Structures are given as structure tokens and as C-alpha cells.
A and B are shown apart, each in its own frame.
Chain A
Amino acid sequence: MTSYTICVFTENTIGILNKITTIFTRRRINIDSLTVSETERKGISRFTIVIRHESRDAVEKLVRQIRKIIEVLAVFGYLNEDIAYNEIALFKVSTPIGAKPLDIETINKTYKAWVVYWHLTYVIIQKTGTEEEIFEFFDYIKPHEILEFVRSGRVAVSKSPQTLVDYLPEAEWEYYQ
């Protein structure tokens, strides 16, 4: 199974998420992670969808089917080496009185993770990194009780020097300042 990251640029309209995911559902392809946000251009959304598949051929067909959705401006399929990517994870870690204290120095310096919220009985730690780095930290922090854990899903940009403008030359979209 190879991991593929599919970036979809769409007009930001109601129901577009449904239009995209139904293409995966019909082909029985499970989505590992999905993030959506507006791009540097107003009105254009960027979907970052991570899947695993044994057939590159099947993923290319999937990409072509996504391209057929009218609201879709461009679709790119990437292997991990084609992109810079990351996610954010938040860990709610139990710190009851009398328990072994957290080693904040290791958390900061070794794992590049930060406490973003303190409570009397727990802290919330934010860790940014690849899926592997996040799970390394997960294993490190596990001996302290993890009350809640959440990952954002992958965000990714391609390593190619091209910009969105290269693919959408005729667009007359408003840029953010």
C-alpha cells in the first residue's frame, strides 16, 4: 500500500465535499485524512485528501474522475516525496497531584512539542510533524495517561516551483492582501 496525497482545488460551494467524497465511496477507497480550507484566493478551497492504495493506476483514474466535477478547478495526485507535509496533533495528558511530573525539557527539545494549556489535573500539548513523528511522541507520552488525542489530518504543498496561478491562468480571483 502506497500513501497518496490528493490536492483538489474547487470553487467554494455548498455540497462540494459530498461531490468529491462520493467518487471515493463508489470505488470503495477509504479516506485516511481530509482537510479543507480556503486558499490564497478568495472563493477557492483546497482539499488535501490522504489515501492508501496498491495501484497507482487506480489512483490516477480516481484523480481524473475528481477532475470531472464541474466545480473542481484542478486536481493533483502526489507521492510523499513530491510534497512537504505536516499535521498538528493535540494531546490532553493527565497530570494528577502526586503523579510523575512531565519532562517539559524533553517534550520541547527532543519532540518539539509545546504545552498550550495548563489545568490543575491535565495539560494540553501541541505537536506538529509528520504522522510518524506524531506517533513517536504518542509512544513517548503514553505512560502518562492520555485523556484525549486528536490529529488534524495532513496539509501538504508540492515541492514543484509552480504556483496555483500556473494552473489557473484565466482566473480573475481576488487575492488576500
Chain B
Amino acid sequence: MGFNENQTATIQGSEPVVSVAKPELINGSHAVIQSLIAEGVKTIFGYPGGAIMPVYDAIYDYQDQVNHILVRHEQGAAHAAEGFARITGEVGVCLVTSGPGATNLVTGIADAIIDSTPMVCIIGQVASHLLGTDAFQETDVMGITIPITKWNYQVTNADEIPEIIAKAFYIAKSGRPGPVLIDITKDAQQKLMTKPFVHKKVETLLSYHPRMAPKEEQLAAAAKLINQAKRPFLFVGHGVQIAGAEQELIRFVEKTDIPVASTLLGLSSMSVDHPNYVGWLGMHGNYGTNVLTNQCDLIIAVGMRFDDRVTGDLSRYAKQAKVVHIEIDPAEIDKIMKADAPVVGDAKIALELLLPLVNENNHEAWKAEFKKYDAIEDQKITQPELAPTTEKIKMAEVIRTLSDKTKGEAVIVADVGQHQMMAARYYQFKKPSSYITSGGLGTMGYALPASFGAKVGAPDREVVAIIGDGCFQMTIQELGTIAQSGLPVKIIILNNNFLGMVRQWQQLFHQKRYSFVELQNPDFITIAKGFGIDGHTCAKREDLHASLDTMLASDKPYLLEVLVEKEENVFPMVPTGACVADIRLE
């Protein structure tokens, strides 16, 4: 008998929510908007163009029900939708035109799939009779996005629209979330449906059955390993936040007394103040968490995928440890790390069901080992970073001061590079869903639009974007979107006039051959003011507190540029190809 990956159904359909619109027949465009409304969509990030104009004509009539936000570039729409989805857990929605409109979304879609972010992208397409003729603004969007979408579908018939949109939302949000793309030809948008509009929510599909509740025997096997372990170590990934399993995690950890470390996207799932929280994993993670990964006897990985930035050299990674892998995506089991006890299912349900099966325990001595390493890291890295003797401001002190001023309760949206790592290291996260960044794809330019999307999704929370001077110039145009909305997104540029992370690698691994990493930057404050956004530059340490206070006190969008040390490096560091135990402190 061969091996198979057939899964059994675990989601049973419940009563469908039926939303019946006006009895008269509507066209495809109205069906698009009414379906989105029926799915609970209140915000759309979009940009109009030729092939999507019928939908834009329809949306004009629904402005009281749907808030359409006009971005400045389609990539901005994708990242804003991601930021929105990451903070709300809801599906982010993009609406763009064919051809360049669609291809401009591609980076954001690729970002969303690797970071498991639910998104529905609705794309206009040339009329169906023009498909394949190289018509104006025709691109094979379906072909382009197959490898980077969870599902994509081309609609050529208006009657299909409600069903396909319902399916898209179900697929995007359920199981391991991801982006779904619907390509709608212009004629399908224009034509009248031949039957009355009915939108039924999809809650089960014939060919797709994400497993929510793990199998009992898998839970029992996992519990057995957990109960036997003398030095167990729990890793929190993005899956905990996606499942909303923060409370279950705390109950599990408090019963078992297991130390907890987080991946980059797992940050803020557990407060840094929790006595069992020992830090961050991976390339720029903490000293103790990395070294002791190779000394624990059991890894309990919850909703994470053993990214190479977490594991370093896999052949020397946690070889001594057994692995319990709790993960909703069965394809992640054994993909990188062989699991001794795989638990396929939703993190929240899995932790809840495991709780009665695990023994109360006390791991004081084991947890104390982390403290020893913390003391070394504190003395060698953290203290010098936070209380530097250098003239220039260091990134770490900006982040920690911000952390103190916001009591660790702000939403930090970090871009990609040194500032991202510094934000992860030095912000003291106290509340869940507080760190949003492009983890898997490492998309520079992510933070400005994503922070805006996050603010739209969580208007009551303080949202602060931490951006490097290089990243900022990749999506700088979204200042226009932010200005037009008036939403008080706070933007900090940590300006070192370098592509800092690349420069760090060139310094450490390429004999300081600084190849095209120095930037001649514009005057960011003048640019912001040109967009109608207030801001100022902080160049001196003694001004830092007042600068952050000014920024935080603003009830409008605000840009704070901080001139930081030009050539500082992020440590600790597990260089590519090194073993986690060989983490460098300098």
C-alpha cells in the first residue's frame, strides 16, 4: 500500500447565512459588492482601472456600507490588507484592475502566503472574448499567481460571483490562512445575473477539509512525551496568534511550567513579563533560547514551521531533542524537522485538549539556566545598546524608550532589516497581536502600508511603524493614503543612511566591501510635509524623549525621523550556515 495524504472531514456545514438582496436581477459588479457585504467586509483597499471600472461604478452606490480606501500603488493595497488581516484576524480585501494593477499586487500576495495571512484579492480582467489576445492590460494573472495563492479562480460568468466569493472567503480564512485571488472578466462584471442574487456562506468544501480538532491518539502521544520530558522547551509560532490561542497557551504553560520562546511572528503572543517567557528564537534571537535549544530534551512547537532563520544549520539543530509538533498544516509536519509526535490541528483546540492530559510540573532549575545566559547577553549586548556611550543615538534605545512610553501595549509594525530585528529585541510586548512584520518573505516597504492597514483594523490601538530609511523609500507614496485618511499612524524612520542589514553582512562576511548600500536620502520631513503629514527629525539623544512624546501626543499621522548610528550591528547573531549553539555575541 502506498502512502497517502487523504484527510477526513472535520468541519461540518452549519446553517448557511442567507442574505437576499433586492428581488430584481443585478449585474456582476453589484453582485461582487453585495457578496463582500454579506461576508462582513467593511473595508476595501483598492485602486481603480479600466478592467475593474464596472465594480468601481457599483461601489459608488454602497459607500455607506463599505469603506473603500484609495491607496497610491497596488502593492500598498496588498500590504495594507495584510496589516488589517494580521491585527483583526479577518480577511483583508484588495480590489484592483487587470495587468499592471494585478502584477503590482504580486509581492503582497507572495508575502501573505508565506506569512499565512488571509486575504481576498479581486482583480479585473479583460472581457472574456479578449482573453489570450494580448488585449490592452491583459496579463495571465491566473498563471502568475498559482504558486503564491492558496486558491485562485477566474470568473467569466456573473452568475458564479456569489458562490465564488463565498468560497474565496472560506478558503482564505480557514485552516492555515492565505491569499485567494479572483480574476473577474469585465463582461462578467457588466452582465446581469440570470437568477436572483443569493449569497450563501460556504462552510465546507468537497475537496478541502482543514483539520481543527487533533486526533486523540496524536494528543495522547504528545502528552506522553511532554510528561516524560525533563527539559522541555515550548516554541510559539504565528499559529498561536492566528488561532487566538494566547489564553490556552498560558494555561498550558502555567500547569506544566515549561519555558517558552517565540519565533519572529509569534512575538507578543505571550507577555515578556510572564515568568515562563524566556525570549526570542533564531538568527537574531536571544542567547539562551538558541544555545539551550541544543540542550533541551523536548521541543513542543506550536504553530510554527522551523524556518531556516530559526534553525540555522539543520544538521546540528536540536539533534538531542524529541519533537512534538502542533500544526494545522499537515504539509509542515516532517517538512523540516521530523516530529516524534505530530499533532495536526488548530493550536487553540490542541492546547485546550492537551491541558487535561499533561501533568503539573516544576521546571525551576531548567528555567534558571536561561537566566544565566540572559545575564551574559544583558552585560555584553543589551546594556551597552540601551545605555550607549557613543554620541549617536542607537536603534535599541529608540525602541526601548518607545516601549516604555507606550507601556509595551502599542502595535509595532516593523519593516525589514536591522530596525525590524531591533524592534523585535527591544520592544517589551505586553499585549497579544502587537508585532506585525514581513517574516517569511522579508518584503522591504511592507511597514508603511501595513501599519496603515493595522490602524484601520484597530483604530483604538496605538500603531507605530518602525521603518528604515531604505524601506521607507520603497512604498513612500502611501504617505498620501495615510494623509487622505487622516488616521493617526505614527511613523518612526530609523535613519542610518545605509541599507543596514546588507551593510552588516558585507562588514562581517564580505570584508567590509560596502557594495551599493549607502543611500543619499531625501529630506523625509519635507516630503512628509508635502503630503500634509507633520513630523520632525531627532538627532540628539537628549531630544529623544521629547521627540517621542510629541509623536505619540499627535492625534494625526506623524513622522519622526531619528538619526541613528551609521554602522551599528545587530547581535546576537547566528550566521547563515552556523549552528544555533554557536550564536555570536559580537
Give A17-61 as 1s and 0s: 1 = Cβ < 8 Å from B's Cβ atoms: 011001000100000000000000000000000000000010011
Report the stretch among B3-11, B296-304, B305-313, B389-397 that lies at the interface. Answer: B3-11
Distance of A14 Cα from B147 Cα, bound (Å): 15
* Chain B: minimal CB distance from A23 (Å): 8
Report the stretch among B33-41, B52-60, B89-97, B205-213 that lies at the interface. Answer: B205-213
Does B487 sit at the interface, judged by CB under 8 A? Answer: no
When the two chains form the complex, which single residue of B3, B152, B205, B208 contacts A60, counting CB atoms closer than 8 Å? Answer: B3
Report the stretch among A64-72, A112-120, A133-141 that lies at the interface. Answer: A64-72
> How many residue pairs between the two chains, A and B, have CB atoms under 8 Å in the bound complex?
77
Give residues 125-177 of A contacting B (CB, 8 Å). 158, 160, 167-171
Number of interface residues of B (CB under 8 A): 28
Would you call B208 and A70 a contact (CB within 8 A)? yes
* Chain B: minimal CB distance from A8 (Å): 10
Does A76 sit at the interface, judged by CB under 8 A? Answer: yes
- CB contacts (< 8 Å) of A14 on chain B: these are 154
If A61-B331, A171-B206 touch, does A70 touch B150 (CB 8 Å cutoff)? yes
Distance of A171 Cα from B490 Cα, bound (Å): 52
Does B132 sit at the interface, judged by CB under 8 A? Answer: no
When the two chains form the complex, which single residue of A26, A68, A160, A167 contacts B331, counting CB atoms closer than 8 Å? Answer: A68
- CB contacts (< 8 Å) of A60 on chain B: these are 3, 334
Number of interface residues of A (CB under 8 A): 36
Would you call A65 and B331 a contact (CB within 8 A)? yes
- CB contacts (< 8 Å) of A78 on chain B: these are 2
Would you call A70 and B207 a contact (CB within 8 A)? yes
Give B1-31 as 1s and 0s: 1 = Cβ < 8 Å from A's Cβ atoms: 1111111110000000000000000000000
Distance of A79 Cα from B208 Cα, bound (Å): 26
Distance of A19 Cα from B205 Cα, bound (Å): 18
Does B146 sit at the interface, judged by CB under 8 A? Answer: yes
* Chain B: minimal CB distance from A127 (Å): 27
Distance of A19 Cα from B150 Cα, bound (Å): 11
Does B373 sit at the interface, judged by CB under 8 A? Answer: no
* Chain B: minimal CB distance from A61 (Å): 6
Would you call A70 and B151 a contact (CB within 8 A)? yes
* Chain B: minimal CB distance from A26 (Å): 6
24 pairs from A and B in contact (CB 8 Å cutoff): A15-B143, A15-B146, A15-B152, A18-B143, A26-B147, A61-B334, A64-B330, A64-B335, A65-B331, A66-B5, A67-B6, A67-B330, A70-B151, A70-B205, A73-B206, A74-B4, A74-B6, A75-B5, A76-B4, A77-B4, A79-B2, A83-B2, A168-B206, A169-B8
Q: Could you tell me which B residues sit within 8 Å of A by CB distance?
A: 1-9, 142-143, 146-147, 150-152, 154, 171, 205-208, 329-331, 333-335
